Chains A and B, each alone.
Chain A
Amino acid sequence: MIWNPDFESLDRSALARLQGERLGRLVDTLYRRVPFYRKKMDAAGVKPHDIQGIADLPRLPCTTKDEMREVYPYGLLAVSLKDIVEVHTSSGTTGTPVVDAYTAGDIEVWAEVMARTLAAGGTGRHDIVQNAYGYGLFTGGLGVHYGARKIGATVIPISGGNTRRQLAMMRDFKSTVIACTPSYSLFLAEAAREEGMDPSKAGLKAGFFGAEPWSESMRGEIQQQLGLRALDIYGLTEIIGPGVAMECEGQVGLHVNEDHFYPEIIDPASGKVLPDGQKGELVITTLTKDGTPVLRYRTRDITYLDRTPCACGRTTARMHRVLGRTDDMLIIRGVNVFPSQIEEVILKVEGIEPHYQLIVERRDQLDELEVQVEMNEGLFSDEIRGLERMEKKIEADLYATLSIHTRVRLVEPKSIARSEGKAKRIIDKRQL
């Protein structure tokens, strides 16, 4: 269902005009009110009047996460603090957090784009939304909350973790929609089976999964185990939180809410804008945000764009599911490897569950990648030969896709730590 066809299905030339107007206003505000951006524009030799339409966007400088950290906490504010009604920050696990401050209008936009997101997966007033994203500074919880409220659905604000209670709620309140990280959904399914509950018959019809990279094979696994339609959602705290882009029921890429967030793909090395269909780093500009607007934010997410019409009727650009990160891309013996590529390969092997971990080590100046895969009832064979054959087969499949030799190791069930939030897939032991 399309929540707001006036914007989501807007004719593309009208959309470009709207984006151009909004960009003009944004640049004007940033130059006048935010010294951080004024300095950047001056350094790049661009003045607000140079920006006449959306096509002029590449003339403006990009913004990185590190730059935003330097002006922590309030250096990105474009309004007076009295107009800010809510503050979120990035997790700060990799350093100083980035602050996202919302005006009442920004929260309204957030609710709108999240209503679009949930509606795109069929969520309506009658649905019970079990929101298992963490509530708090993390944007996942409240983002889904505001969207579900706007639709008029019933929200269960259970937040992340507390798996037993999640299952009890699911059973007692008959949740029809679930929102959490993809890895947690499988953890829930596993826990449900342990309690003698069949998660595929729990009555869930749709799941909104994001906040970590996942693959098409993992989607298949989630859909089968939980008996729902699994939709990918995309967003980031630096921009607004979830709601930047979402899949429609066609599951053919994520529709970017382009009237609010303008997407570009650049070559991460040169910074040059790449044409549609070419893989590169996603860059986003907030067109309507008032509190902490962002100019050409380098997301470090690797994807590509498709602006051809979608069967669902939306006209907005679609981004391919995130293929990897410029920063979690592993370079193994000079070859770029994304964990998502490895996941895609191993999950194609009959019986393998999406519990795996990548261990990178350097031995005698050579990088070694070990792929640990959990054993389970379905995979197990009494014969050593059969198990070794399976390891060799996965190694050969990985070689065919990645062109690097890996070492596949079968490990005992549940020996890889489960996560209630983002799954930790990579352990890089190299001292570089």
Chain B
Amino acid sequence: MSVKQISVFLENKKGRLAEVTMGLSKEKINIRALALADTADFGVLRIIVDNPERAVTALKARGFVAQVTEVIAVEVEDRPGGLARILEVLDQDNVNVEYMYAYVEKKRDNAIVICRIDDRERALQVLEKHGIATLNAEALKAL
């Protein structure tokens, strides 16, 4: 089960991230998780929001280059070794994780890790085989 992440191109200069969050705030879009990868010149902002389609439209209207990327949301036990187990499982089956970031949901015991994986289908099979739960868009929204 995959979820939609929004990736936004940002130049490394003052106020760009604020411009993104402002734009989403005006549209009443809530950011659930966020990660920023950057180089000296530019960055790629990755966010999970409650309404990806509207978020992309809002960002494009503000002149940003934004696109939807399919990612996997995995539930991770919020205790030592929780993430290690998942990565071990994926590694054993040769599934390569491009990048990942985590967030802790206050209403539940488990943390949620967002993973970008090229071979998403296989990753999902591997996780399922080992009884590791993934969340779909509705489940994420409901949190």
Contact = CB atoms under 8 A, between A and B. Distances in A.
Interface of A: 375-377, 379-380, 382-384, 387-388, 391, 409-415
Given A387-B42, A409-B41, A412-B16, A380 B65 contact: yes
Interface stretch (B5-13, B103-111, B129-137): B5-13
A382 B116 contact: yes
B81 interface: no
Given A410-B42, A412-B64, A413-B63, A384 B11 contact: no
A379 B42 CA distance: 14
Given A382-B44, A382-B46, A382-B69, A412 B39 contact: no
B142 interface: no
Contacts of B38: 384
B84 interface: no
Contacts of B10: 412
Contact of A380 (B41, B63, B67, B98): B67
B76 to A, nearest CB: 22
Contact of A384 (B16, B37, B63): B37
User: Which of A412, A414, A415 gathers most chain B CB within 10 Å?
Assistant: A412
B63 A412 contact: yes
B39 A384 contact: yes
A418 B37 CA distance: 29
A33 to B, nearest CB: 58
Nearest to A376: B65
B65 A413 contact: yes
20 contacts: A375-B9, A379-B65, A380-B7, A380-B67, A382-B67, A382-B69, A383-B44, A384-B38, A384-B44, A387-B9, A387-B39, A387-B44, A410-B11, A410-B42, A411-B42, A412-B9, A412-B63, A412-B65, A413-B65, A414-B63
Nearest to B44: A384
A7 B99 CA distance: 68
Nearest to A378: B65
Contacts of B9: 375, 380, 387, 410, 412
Nearest to A385: B98
Which 4 A/B pairs are nearest by Cβ-Cβ distance?
Answer: A382-B7, A382-B69, A380-B65, A412-B11
B34 to A, nearest CB: 14
Contacts of B16: 412
A389 to B, nearest CB: 12
Interface in B9-63: 9-11, 16, 37-39, 41-44, 46, 63
Contacts of A376: 65
Contacts of A414: 63
Nearest to B116: A382
B102 to A, nearest CB: 18
Nearest to A414: B63
Given A377-B65, A382-B67, A412-B65, A388 B39 contact: yes
B44 A413 contact: no
B11 A415 contact: yes
A384 B38 CA distance: 7
Given A387-B42, A410-B41, A412-B11, A377 B67 contact: yes
A143 to B, nearest CB: 36
